[in-house]
Amino acid sequence: MARVRVLSEAQRLPGRAVTLSAQDLAARLPRLVLEARRVAATLAHGIHGRRRAGPGETFWQFRPFSSGEPASRIDWRRSGRDDRLYVREREWEAAHSVHVWIDRSASMGFGSDLAMAPKCDRAVVLGFALAESFVEAGERVGLMGQAPPRAARRIAERFAEIMADPRGQSDTDMPPRTPLAPYDEAVIVSDCLSPAPEWDSCIEEIAARGARGHILMIVDPVEESFPFAGQAMLEDPEAGLRLRVGDAVSWGAQYRTRIAAHRDALETAARRRGWTLTIHRTDRPASEAALRLMALVQASRSGTGVR
C-alpha cells in the first residue's frame, strides 16, 4: 500500500534548491530565444481577418452598388459581366491582442532521459516562438499579468528580459485570473497538473468577457507512460511530499487512468468556453505543437470550428 509522508524543512531544502536552480532561466534564455526563432521561422502564419467588410487588402466579396454611393467604388470589370453595378469589398483586417502565459512552477523543471528538453525549456521556446509569429502577423502580444500586449519587434528578447528580472519571476502554477477583453486570446503553456476544478474556474474567469483561448499542455514522455517497475519513490518538488510505491506496475495502471480522466476534464472545461486543448510531448519537435496551435487559432477565428 502506498504511503505518503511530509518531509521536514531540512529534507526539503536540498531538493528545493536543485529545483529552483533548474528553474533559474537566466543562463539558458539566450539559447532558448534562438531556438524559438528557429521554430517561428517554420510557421507560415498570415494576417487573420475579422471575416467582415472593412479596411484591408484582402478581397472579401462583391455586393450590388447602392444609390448614393460614390461612383469611384464601382468595380467596372465585375459590373461589365452583366447589367448590374457591383462594389468590391475588402475584408476588415485588425490586429488582435494575444496574451501568453508560460508556466514556470517547480513541476515544469522535470525532464527525463526520454525527453529532448525539460518541460520548462520547451514551454519557453513554444511561448516565445508563438509570440514571434503573432507579431510578424501584425498582432499585439503580451505576457499575461506581466506585460501588456504590444506589436513590438524582437518580442522574444523582451519576454526574456522580463523573465530574467527577479521582479518578474513567478513560481505559481496557474495563470492570473484576469478577464480578457472580447476578441482577445489567451495562449496558456503549462503542464496543467493542478486539479481540474481549479482549471475550470480559471478558464471561466479569463473567458468571462468573451475571450478565446488555447491551452498547450506540456508532457514529459515518462509522465505519459509511467514506465516503472518494482519499488519506487515519487517526490513532489512543490509540496515537499514523498510517495513510496510498493508495486509500480500496478500503481502505474491506476496513474494512467487518473491522468486520462484529468485530461478529459480539462478538455471538457476548455470546449465549454470554445477553447482548445493541445497535448505536446517533449520527445517530439517543438515545431509540431506550434504548427498545430496556429492551425487551431486560424480555425477559431474563421469560425470554421475545431476538431
Domain end call among 92, 116, 149:
92
Range 274-303 average pLDDT: 90
* Residue 94 confidence class, pLDDT cut points 50, 70, 90: low
- Whether residue 198 lies inside any domain: the answer is yes
Say if residue 133 is in the same domain as residue 166. yes
Say if residue 60 is in the same domain as residue 37. no
**Assigned C-alpha cell, 244:** 513510496
pLDDT at residue 3 above 50?
A: no
Residue 172 is predicted with a pLDDT of 80
Residue 221 is predicted with a pLDDT of 93
Say if residue 125 is in the same domain as residue 55. no
Say if residue 57 is in the same domain as residue 102. no
CATH code of the domain containing 206? 3.40.50
Say if residue 212 is in the same domain as residue 75. no
- Whether residue 261 lies inside any domain: the answer is yes
Domain end call among 65, 92, 119:
92
Say if residue 59 is in the same domain as residue 15. no
- Whether residue 12 lies inside any domain: the answer is yes
Say if residue 192 is in the same domain as residue 243. yes
Residue 254 is predicted with a pLDDT of 86
- Whether residue 56 lies inside any domain: the answer is yes
> Which residue has better confidence, 257 or 165?
257
* Residue 2 confidence class, pLDDT cut points 50, 70, 90: very low
pLDDT at residue 266 above 70?
A: yes
Residue 198 is predicted with a pLDDT of 96
- Whether residue 307 lies inside any domain: the answer is no
**What's the total number of domains in the chain?**
2
Strands 49-53, 86-93: pairing kind: antiparallel
Say if residue 65 is in the same domain as residue 110. no
From 279, 11, 290, select the one nearest 131 (Cα to Cα). Answer: 290
Residue 17 is predicted with a pLDDT of 45
- Whether residue 221 lies inside any domain: the answer is yes
- Whether residue 171 lies inside any domain: the answer is yes
Domain end call among 71, 92, 113:
92
Say if residue 78 is in the same domain as residue 15. no
- Whether residue 102 lies inside any domain: the answer is yes
- For residue 63, give its domain range: 51-92
Judged by average pLDDT, the poorest of 29-38, 118-127, 197-206, 259-268 is 29-38
Say if residue 102 is in the same domain as residue 221. yes
This prediction's pTM? 0.75
Range 191-216 average pLDDT: 95
Range 160-171 average pLDDT: 75
Say if residue 82 is in the same domain as residue 183. no
Say if residue 65 is in the same domain as residue 134. no
Residue 93 is predicted with a pLDDT of 46
Q: What is the pLDDT of residues 230-249, one digit of tens each?
A: 777 777 766 667 777 777 78
